Amino acid sequence: MTKEAKREPEQTIAAIDEMNRPGCLDLWREVFGRPPPKHLSPQFMKRVLIWELQNRELGRLPTKTKRRLQHIASNKTPAAQAKPGSHLVREWNGRTYQVEVVNGGYVLDGKSWRSLSAIANHITGAHWSGPRFFGVQ
């Protein structure tokens, strides 16, 4: 944002907010060194450009926060890390179920299970995410 960067941030934000689509495309190429992805609306491009200006003015996110956000964006949920000896409790349809975490699996009512999802399916009769059903984060 060479020209805009010399202005006050409020003036730059106002200038970006008033841009038309060709202006947004030009500024995007200047700021990011490449054209924007196809089919972005001018309103969305303006938000990203303003966000980038704020990052440059106020400082970027810490690396740890960036990694966490990238992990969340990748849509990979971290594996549940219940330790052997832990007990997971869930009430379902008036009955309380207690699952013991053991090495290599789980035990419910004296029967061994390989996954919490299999136990959730057994309890409910429907497909569930086992960690979600038992509230394991």
pLDDT at 33 > cutoff 70: yes
Segment 5-24 mean pLDDT: 86
* Helix, strand, or coil (residue 111): strand
pLDDT at 76 > cutoff 90: no
pLDDT at 55 > cutoff 60: yes
Do 48 and 35 contact (CB within 8 A), yes or no?
no
- Residues 30 and 54: their CA atoms lie apart, in Å, by 16
Residue 77 is predicted with a pLDDT of: 53
Residue 4 is predicted with a pLDDT of: 46
Pairing of strands 87-92, 95-102: antiparallel
Segment 6-34 mean pLDDT: 90
- Residues 11 and 50: their CA atoms lie apart, in Å, by 11
* Helix, strand, or coil (residue 112): strand
- pTM for the model: 0.43
